[in-house]
């Protein structure tokens, strides 16, 4: 039971990398310096996504109200989830900016390496979320 809870939480965190729809999330993981060449190998891209997922999990664990909204959105139809997330993050802009910053390394890696780091459904939601 505990393993399924952990797996579900990881899935939610991964989805927050893309399913935080409606546009909302910035700041805790520092981006690599402009002089550093990104690791564009599949392992490097996966490491970035894993790192972001871990940071998102930690953030959500430390912010139960945000975690509750994100977790609930995961089980909702996309339009309803988008509306719910947009409403929450509009009312809580700091959480949006915090999460957006946490998720930013995924977009940085995608741009620098010219790859898509997420599955199509998550990629679409990620782009929508990051656009605000």
Q: Give the Cα separation of 37 and 99 in Å (integer).
A: 24
Q: Give the Cα separation of 46 and 27 in Å (integer).
A: 20
Q: Give the Cα separation of 68 and 85 in Å (integer).
A: 11
Domain ranges of the chain: 2-17+40-131
Q: Give the Cα separation of 49 and 104 in Å (integer).
A: 10
Would you say the pTM of this structure is higher than 0.85?
no
Which pLDDT band, with edges at 50, 70 and 90, does 127 fall under? confident
pLDDT digits (tens, 9 = 90+) for 2-60: 444 444 444 444 445 444 433 333 333 334 445 467 789 999 999 999 999 999 999 99
């Amino acid at each position: 039971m505990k393993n399924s809870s952990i797996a579900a939480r990881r899935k939610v965190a991964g989805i927050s990398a893309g399913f935080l729809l409606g546009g909302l999330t910035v700041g805790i993981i520092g981006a690599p310096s402009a002089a550093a060449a990104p690791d564009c190998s599949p392992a490097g891209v996966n490491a970035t996504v894993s790192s972001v997922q871990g940071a998102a999990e930690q953030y959500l664990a430390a912010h139960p109200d945000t975690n509750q909204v994100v977790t609930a959105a995961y089980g909702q139809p996309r339009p309803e989830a988008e509306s719910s997330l947009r409403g929450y993050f509009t009312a809580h802009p700091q959480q949006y900016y915090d999460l957006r910053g946490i998720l930013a390394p995924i977009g940085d890696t995608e741009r620098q390496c010219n790859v898509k780091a997420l599955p199509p459904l998550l990629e679409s939601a990620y782009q929508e979320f990051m656009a605000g």
